Amino acid sequence: MYIKYTLLIACLLFSLCGFSAEQSLSLNGHWQFTLDPQTKGESKDWFNAEFDRSTWRTVTVPHTWNVDAGSEDYMGTAWYSTDITLGASWQQGHTLLEFDAIYQNSKIWLNGKLVKVHNNSGWTPFDIAINNVLLLEGKNNITVQVDNSPSLAAIPLGKSFDWAADGGIIRGVRLRNLPQSYIDNIHVNSALSDDFSSAQVSVKGYLSLDDKVVVEASIYGPNGKLIKTVQQKQTKHSLTPTTRKNALSTSLSALPTTDIIFDIDTPELWHFDFPNLYTVKLRLLDGKTIIHQKETSFGIRKINIKDGVYVLNGEPMRLMGVEWMPGSDPRYGMAESPEHMRSVLRDLKALNSVITRFHWQQDRSVFEFMDREGMLVQEEIPAWGKDLHLPNEHTAAAQKQQSEAMINAHYNHPSIYAWGVGNEMGHFKVIEDHVQYGHDLVKQLDPSRLSVFVNNDLHEVDDAKKAATAPNRLTDFIEWNDYYESWYRNIAADGSKVNTTLDEVKPALQRFAQYYPDKSVVISEYGYCQCNPRFEEGDERRIEMLKQHTELYRTSPNVAGAIFFSYNDYRTHMGDKGQGAFKQRVHGVVDLQGKHKPSWEVLRKESSPIKSLTVSKPAKTGETMSTTIALTSRSLKNDMPAYTLNQYLLTWITYDKNGLPLKTGKKILPSVVPGSNHSHTLEWPVSEDVVKIAVEVFRPTGYSVHNATWQRSAE
pLDDT of 133 reads: 84
Least confident of 50-64, 245-259, 463-477: 245-259
pLDDT range class, residue 249, cuts 50, 70, 90: very low
Question: Would you tell me how many other CB atoms lie within 10 Å of the CB of residue 68?
Answer: 18
pLDDT range class, residue 385, cuts 50, 70, 90: confident
Rounded to two decimals, the pTM is 0.94
Tell which residue, 570, 605, 608, 609, has the closest CA to residue 590: 570
One-letter identity of residue 43: S
161 alpha-carbon distance from chain centroid: 18
pLDDT of 1 reads: 37
Query: What Rg, from alpha-carbon coordinates, does the chain have?
Result: 28
Least confident of 1-15, 127-141, 546-560, 684-698: 1-15
Is the N-terminal amide bond of 104 cis, ω within 30° of 0? yes
Does 162 score more than 70 pLDDT? yes
pLDDT of 380 reads: 97
Q: Which residue has the higher pLDDT, 498 or 270?
A: 270
Does 43 score more than 90 pLDDT? yes
Percent of all residues in the chain with a pLDDT value above 90, rounded to a whole number: 86
For residue 195, what are the contacts with CB-CB under 8 A and spacing of at least 6?
none
For residue 706, what are the contacts with CB-CB under 8 A and spacing of at least 6?
605, 608, 610, 613, 696, 697
DSSP code per residue over 34-101: EE-TT--TTTTTTTSTT---TTSEEEEES--GGGSTT-TT--SEEEEEEEEEE-GGGGSSEEEEEES-
Q: Give the mean pLDDT of the chain.
A: 93
61 and 29 in contact (C-beta within 8 Å)? Answer: yes
Question: Would you tell me how many other CB atoms lie within 10 Å of the CB of residue 546?
Answer: 20
pLDDT of 233 reads: 87
CA atoms of 552 and 529, how far apart (whole Å)? 20
pLDDT of 253 reads: 54
DSSP code per residue over 625-673: EEEEEEEEEPPSSS-SSB--B-S-EEEEEEE-TTS-EEEEEEEEPPPB-
Instruction: Decide if 182-298 and 611-711 have a common fold.
Output: yes
Percent of all residues in the chain with a pLDDT value above 70, rounded to a whole number: 94
CATH for 611-711 is: 2.60.40.10
Q: What is the mean pLDDT of residues 376-404?
A: 91
CA atoms of 379 and 374, how far apart (whole Å)? 16
CA atoms of 100 and 123, how far apart (whole Å)? 8
What is the per-residue pLDDT across 474-525, written as a single tens digit (0 to 9) for each? 999 999 999 999 999 998 888 899 999 999 999 999 999 999 999 999 999 9
pLDDT range class, residue 4, cuts 50, 70, 90: very low
CA atoms of 385 and 162, how far apart (whole Å)? 9
Does 6 score more than 60 pLDDT? no
For residue 210, what are the contacts with CB-CB under 8 A and spacing of at least 6?
180, 181, 236, 238
267 and 198 in contact (C-beta within 8 Å)? Answer: yes
Q: Which residue has the higher pLDDT, 651 or 247?
A: 651
Q: What is the mean pLDDT of residues 553-571?
A: 98
E strand or H helix that includes residue 441:
helix 429-445
Q: What is the mean pLDDT of residues 299-306?
A: 98
Does 9 score more than 60 pLDDT? no
Does 558 score more than 60 pLDDT? yes
Question: Would you tell me how many other CB atoms lie within 10 Å of the CB of residue 57?
Answer: 11
Pick the CATH number of 303-607 from 3.40.50.2300, 3.30.1360.40, 2.40.40.20, 3.20.20.80: 3.20.20.80
pLDDT of 475 reads: 97
What is the per-residue pLDDT across 566-606, written as a single tens digit (0 to 9) for each? 999 999 998 889 999 999 999 999 999 999 999 999 999 99
621, β-bridge pairs: 624
Does 243 score more than 70 pLDDT? no
Alpha helix stretches (DSSP H) within 456-538? 464-467, 505-515
Q: Which residue has the higher pLDDT, 255 or 117?
A: 117
One-letter identity of residue 79: W
565, β-bridge pairs: 323
Does 255 score more than 90 pLDDT? no
Helix axis angle for 539-554 and 598-606, nearest 10°, is 10
Longest dimension (CA), the chain: 92
C-alpha distances out from residue 651 to 271, 366, 654, 660, 666, Å? 23, 30, 11, 17, 4
CA atoms of 683 and 502, how far apart (whole Å)? 47
Does 13 score more than 60 pLDDT? no
Burial class (CB in 10 A: 0-12, 13-18, 19+), 92: middle
SS3 content of the chain, % helix, strand, coil (to 5): 20, 40, 40
CA atoms of 217 and 407, how far apart (whole Å)? 22
Does 16 score more than 50 pLDDT? no
Phi-psi label, residue 261: left if phi above 0, alpha if psi -120 to 50, beta otherwise = beta
Question: Would you tell me how many other CB atoms lie within 10 Å of the CB of residue 575?
Answer: 16
453, β-bridge pairs: 478
C-alpha distances out from residue 129 to 138, 182, 245, 711, Å? 19, 13, 7, 66
CA atoms of 604 and 592, how far apart (whole Å)? 19
Residue 241 phi, psi dihedral angles, 5° rounding:
-55, -35
Q: Which CATH superfamily is domain 17-174 in?
A: Galactose-binding domain-like (2.60.120.260)
CATH class of the domain defined by 182-298: mainly beta
CA atoms of 628 and 630, how far apart (whole Å)? 6
Does 14 score more than 60 pLDDT? no
Task: Work out the angle at residue 681's Cα, subtended by the Cα atoms of residues 677 and 685, and round it to the nearest 5 degrees.
Answer: 165
CA atoms of 690 and 698, how far apart (whole Å)? 23
E strand or H helix that includes residue 108:
strand 105-110
480 and 505 in contact (C-beta within 8 Å)? Answer: no
185 and 295 in contact (C-beta within 8 Å)? Answer: no
pLDDT range class, residue 254, cuts 50, 70, 90: low
Q: Which residue has the higher pLDDT, 493 or 82?
A: 82
pLDDT of 188 reads: 97
- What is residue 712's three-state secondary structure? coil
Q: What is the mean pLDDT of residues 625-652?
A: 98
pLDDT of 7 reads: 37
Tell which residue, 653, 648, 683, has the closest CA to residue 669: 648
Least confident of 239-253, 316-330, 616-630: 239-253
C-alpha distances out from residue 652 to 124, 255, 614, 657, Å? 46, 57, 12, 17
- What is residue 545's three-state secondary structure? helix
C-alpha distances out from residue 35 to 46, 117, 586, Å? 12, 19, 30
CA atoms of 118 and 287, how far apart (whole Å)? 40
Q: What residue ranges do the domains of the chain occupy? A: 17-174, 182-298, 303-607, 611-711
CA atoms of 332 and 349, how far apart (whole Å)? 22
Is the N-terminal amide bond of 241 cis, ω within 30° of 0? no
473 alpha-carbon distance from chain centroid: 25
Tell which residue, 375, 387, 257, 271, has the closest CA to residue 321: 375
Does 238 score more than 90 pLDDT? no
Q: Which residue has the higher pLDDT, 15 or 561?
A: 561
Tell which residue, 501, 521, 171, 117, has the closest CA to residue 319: 521
